[in-house]
Structure 1
Amino acid sequence: MTVKEFIILGFSNIQGYQNVLLLFFLLMYIFTVTVNIFLLTIIRLSQRLHKPMYFFLGNLSFLELSYITVTVPKILIDIPRKRKSISFSGCITQLFFFTFLGATENILLALMSFDRFLAVCFPLRYTIIMSHKVCFLLSAFSWTLGFLTTSVPIIKISQLDFCNANVINHFFCEAAPLLKLSCSDPYFKELTVIICASSVILSSVLLTMMSYGYILKTILKIQTTTGKQKTASTCASHLLVVTTFYSTVFAMYIKPTASEGSLNKVLALFYAVVTPLVNPFIYSLRNKEVKEAILYIVKRERF
């Protein structure tokens, strides 16, 4: 018998806290959507933020919005239900978009580090190199490459045979628990997932490390302490976001079957739900230009 739907276990092991979970996910979703839309609006309305760094930041906020929308609305629907299910096609679709957006974010964060490298190491030529056209092409590259690297492993997963086992020990459709349910030999298809995920993550991390290596080298050459602090502050927000994002993603995707049960859920909860809310605060609270743009727009609207 071919499986036509999957049962999502979610957080059924903590039955007494379902209302708390519902409130938690609802508030997280509302706050995340509100904060990211607010940041996107500020970037769009403020002329002083029409720079390459904020163009990429706008892309990141849109990614975060899409990222959390792929999973949380379905979670909110499922929490009150006794039987939490999703169709086979619905599961594969959710898996595709979640993985696609995650891959794109990996690539985009690496490109943002490259942007910071150019800004710090080649300040006089930065505006010429990072033109509007180049920014658009780099952004399009991240989305296209994210789509291409995701399509192959998801197609492979969708071709697996799922016979009787259909209970996913997770709160959404994710690669690791799906691979474990297959009744066909998933070795080569799991290998495809590992190779695609690892290539995206490792290449992104390598580009990020190289960029920050050159940035650090340039900062150390600056004579004054004030100059060093000012230069370092332009990269601080991005570096914090990158560190947070990659530390959880490494645990999940370098070896998809490595994380089990509760640990898998906690890591997924962090990068799928918490990170999209935290990132806009990191960029806005630590960024002088964003704060000034917010104050300027608020004053302009009031007076």
Structure 2
Amino acid sequence: MVKGNLTIISEFLLLGLSEGPEHQALLFSLFLSMYLVAVVGNLLIVLAVCSDPHLHTPMYFFIASLSCVDICFTSVTVPKMLLNIQTQSQSIPYAGCLTQMYFLILFLELDNFLLAVMAYDRFVAICHPLHYTITMTPRFCITVMSVALIITNIYPLIHTFLMATLSFCTSIRIRHIFCELYALLKLSCSNTHINELVVYTLGSFLFVASFLFISLSYMHIFSAIRRLQSSQSKLKAFSTCSPHLAVVSLFYGTLFGVYLRPSSSYTTEDSVATVLYAVVAPMLNPFIYSLRNKDMKGALRSLLSWRKVWSW
């Protein structure tokens, strides 16, 4: 139904990274491979943490939680893209698009929150080791996760409600692999100043505040590591932080590069950048944590050991 120059739409078209038919088979194979690696890798991390009593600590609890979020994060976007390529259809229902956007923001926020909590965990472990067992109790970890789930649902609900009030032009072509916030705002014929104001105020507070908290935590951590006497102690302390630092750099590097700008400047290159934190980062996180952590590597070896399977 058309009214003036506006259209009451029932669906959007997800154009993906390329509209060329000759690229579809390659994109399908590439994203299917990345999705399987991300899901299997993160699932192995969760199973390893659950199965090994030595990993029943706050640090590994949050690593397993991050892996669960990453599985959900990739599952919100990639399967729909693969289905569209396979069926040669680009459509996604209007309600489905808003739902996808909601869960994308939700899991993005949970990633953001968990990275901040993991930085706090490392801060307490290195700067106040004698207080670690008192501070990072199971009750504290469960409470933090419960509060995170409540808080992280509010922000996407606000954006979903505001998006539902916007009108869209006759163009419903989203140059992206999923219903990304800025890509939708760029299509709207309505005034999006309120939506962008929410991004720059509440969004900046949530994401920039977490990043500053992580930065402040690591300033104290590096200061404490410098005061250690032996080189072996310094190396051991830093090795417990390096996987987290690598994940933080990958996550915030791509996130801030895309979202700390007006939606009007959003380009196709930005859609490629969002793939880094939406697909590539969840795929790499299990490798980062397993390859740089002896306890995790040991738990994974035990999990995958045929001898252990047969002993059951």
If the TM-score is normalised by the length of the shorter chain, which range does it land in? over 0.9
2:76 is paired with a residue whose SS is helix
- Among residues 146, 156, 172, which one is paired with 1:140 in the alignment? 146
Residue of structure 2 in register with 1:112 after alignment: 118
Instruction: Give 2:239's aligned residue.
Output: 233
Name which of structure 1's ranges 282-291 and 77-86 shifts more when overlaid on structure 2. 77-86
Q: Report if the CA contact (8 A) 1:197-1:253 is conserved.
A: no
| Distance in 1 between residues matched to 2:187 and 2:227, nearest whole Å | 55
Query: 1:254: Cα distance to partner?
Result: 2.4
Encode CA deviations 1:107-153: one digit per residue, 9 max, x unaligned.
11011001100000111110111010001111222222211122212
* SS state at 2:176 partner: coil
Q: Which residue of 2 aligns with 1:255?
A: 261
Consecutive unaligned residues in structure 1, runs of 5 or more: none
Q: CA–CA distance in 2 between the matches of 1:238 and 1:67? A: 18
Deviation digits for residues 215-261 of structure 1 (CA, Å, limit 9, x no counterpart): 01100111111111111111111111111111001112223526533
In structure 2, C-alpha distance between the alignment counterparts of 1:155 and 1:276, rounded to whole Å: 28
The aligned residue for residue 86 of structure 2 is: 80
TM-score normalised per structure 1? 0.95
Mapped to 1, the partners of 2:267 and 2:192 lie a distance apart of 20
> 2:184 pairs with 164, 178, 181, which one?
178
1:198 paired residue number? 204
User: Partner amino acid for 1:206?
Assistant: L
Summarize the Cα distance change of 1:250–1:161 in structure 2 as closer, same or farther, 3 Å threshold: same
Q: Secondary structure at the match of 1:173?
A: coil
Say whether the 8 Å CA contact 1:252–1:259 is kept in structure 2: no
State the alpha-carbon separation in 1 of the partners of residues 82 and 88 from structure 2.
Answer: 13
280-289 or 12-21: which moved more? 12-21
* Contact residue 104 and residue 142 of structure 1 kept, 8 A: yes
Residue of structure 1 in register with 2:308 after alignment: 300
Alignment of 1:219 onto 2:211: no
Counterpart in the other structure of 1:277: 283
Instruction: After TM superposition, give the deviation of residue 27 of structure 1 in Å.
Output: 1.3
CA separation of 1:259 and 1:116: change in aligned 2, threshold 3 A: farther
Paired AA for residue 26 in structure 1: L
Range with bigger deviation, 131-140 or 43-52: 131-140
Note the residue ranges of structure 2 that are not aligned, 5 or more in a row: 3-7
1:164 equivalent to 2:177? Answer: no
- Of 199-208 and 10-19, more deviation after overlay is shown by 10-19
Does the 8 Å CA contact 2:258/2:273 hold for their aligned counterparts?
Answer: yes
Deviation at 1:12, TM superposition (A): 3.4
CA apart distance, 1:90: 0.5
Q: Which amino acid aligns with 1:205?
A: F
Contact 1:194 1:256 in 2 (8 A): no
Cα distance in 2 for partners of 1:295, 1:12 equals 40
**Percent identity among equivalent residues?**
37
Map of 1:127 onto structure 2: 133
Instruction: Name the SS for the 1:7 alignment partner.
Output: strand
State the SS of the aligned residue for 1:125. helix
Q: Measured at CA, do residues 259 and 228 of structure 1 come closer, stay the same or move farther in structure 2, by a change above 3 Å?
A: farther
How far apart are the structure 2 equivalents of 1:29 and 1:82? 19
2:194 to 170, 176, 188: 188
Normalized against structure 2, the TM-score is what?
A: 0.93
Give the Cα separation in 1 of the matches to 2:256 and 2:294.
Answer: 31
* 1:14 CA drift (Å): 3.5
The answer for the alignment partner of 2:5 in structure 1 is: none
Is residue 266 from structure 1 mapped to residue 272 from structure 2 by the alignment?
yes
Distance 1:66 1:130 in 2: 26
The answer for the alignment partner of 1:93 in structure 2 is 99
State the alpha-carbon separation in 1 of the partners of residues 298 and 169 from structure 2. Answer: 58
| Structure 1 residues 183 and 262: CA distance shift in structure 2, 3 A | closer
Please point out which of 41, 45, 53 is paired with 2:47.
41
In the alignment of these two chains, the number of paired residues is 303
CA distance in 1, matches of 2:134, 2:264: 45
| 3-state SS in 2 of match to 1:183 | coil
- Give the ranges of 4+ consecutive aligned residues of structure 1 lying more than 4 Å apart after TM superposition: none
Displacement of 1:190 after TM fit?
Answer: 2.1
Q: CA–CA distance in 1 between the matches of 2:262 and 2:79? A: 24
Change over 3 Å in CA distance of 1:121–1:283 after alignment to 2: same
RMSD of aligned alpha carbons: 1.5
